[in-house]
Amino acid sequence: MTEEQIGIAGTGYYLPEKVLTNADLEKMVDTSDEWILERTGIRERRIIAPGETVSSMAEAASRQAIESAGLAPEDIDLIILGTFTPDNPLPAAACLLQHRLGNKTAASFDISAACCGFIYALEMGEKMLRAGRYRNALIVAAEAISVVTDWQDRNTCVLFGDGAGAAVLTRGGGHRILDSFIRSDGEYSTLLIVEAGGSACPITPEIIEQRRQYIRMEGNKVFKLAVSSMVRASKEVLKRAGLTIDDVTWLLPHQANLRIMKAVARGLRLPEEQVYINVDRYGNMSGATVPIGLAEMDHNGVLKPGDLLLLVAFGGGLTWAASLVRW
């Protein structure tokens, strides 16, 4: 019996209107456009406005994805949202998204896998649909990293931006998900961390004074692990699918840093012109970077029938993940 196809039927994305340029950052911290460009490849990033939240950004991206799939919000029976900056600690942002969409029946929950959030959610959604209990899944990644960014730390504040991306998975059609690979290693958890706000480090006046409620990263160590892990994940998912790097049409990596993406391409022996890049315009939006890139490629006609798309990411946890999609 032929295995039922699970595929991506529609995509969508949302970016806040506010643009924060490198020139703006020069007025905030001791940095320069040249310094930021050389180390990250980023020129500007998007920042949420007052009143905007992860669930509001997710709603905009999701409505676009649902419409492009030819469905209505009530057709969705599963919602998985990847984020580490939800509207509130409780309830899940996915439940707030469900309410915003006017959906009353979908099973809805968040996952926290940082920059790998979308690929982790894609793997979960694909397997849950394949089990036959659900028909249409809304897979979302949305982050408001600006709310946990230390705008006094020039090493991290230049990196991050806000945004949301979404995809609708459906049984029996769409652009086929061939395979996925997800892994983690908590040994390196302190290399990329928001320390305060949980049971291990409740927020107190002293914690706030020490600025431990903001994201912290050991950049050099993260860089090396990011490159090696994304190369390894890419090779593993290709091997599992019985394919090679020569079969890949496009590499869509997590948009953390231009140097990281170029190093991954070199590690895979893939020409840079086959790497989709938008980090210069949006910065690092954690888990939202991959679905935003996917939606851009989809809506702008970059992807052609038969293209093999390799999605790969690395993030806090530490987590890493890869997925193959046949367009």
Based on the number of CB atoms within 10 Å of its own CB, is 197 exposed (0-12), middle (13-18) or buried (19 or more)?
Answer: middle
* Burial tier of 195 (Cβ tally within 10 Å: 0-12, 13-18, 19+): middle
What residues have CB less than 8 Å from 91, skipping those under 6 apart? none
Phi, psi (degrees; rounded to nearest 5) at 98: -55, -45
User: Of the residues 115, 136, 157, 175, which is catalytic?
Assistant: 115
Which member of 103, 157, 254, 257 is catalytic? Answer: 254
Distances (CA, A) of 315 to 94, 189, 248, 253, 321: 21, 10, 23, 12, 9
Known catalytic membership, residue 254: yes
- Is residue 156 within 8 Å of 149, Cβ to Cβ? yes
Active-site residue identified among 22, 136, 257, 284: 284
Give the residue among 174, 161, 98, 96 at the shortest CA–CA distance from 135: 174
| Inter-axis angle of helices 117-130 and 289-299, nearest 10 | 70
Tell me the C-alpha to C-alpha distance, in Å, between residue 99 and each of 73, 93, 170, 236, 242: 10, 10, 21, 38, 41
Backbone dihedral region for residue 172 (phi beyond 0: left; psi -120 to 50: alpha; all else: beta): left
298 DSSP assignment: H
- 139, 125 in Cβ contact below 8 A? yes
Catalytic residues: 115, 254, 284
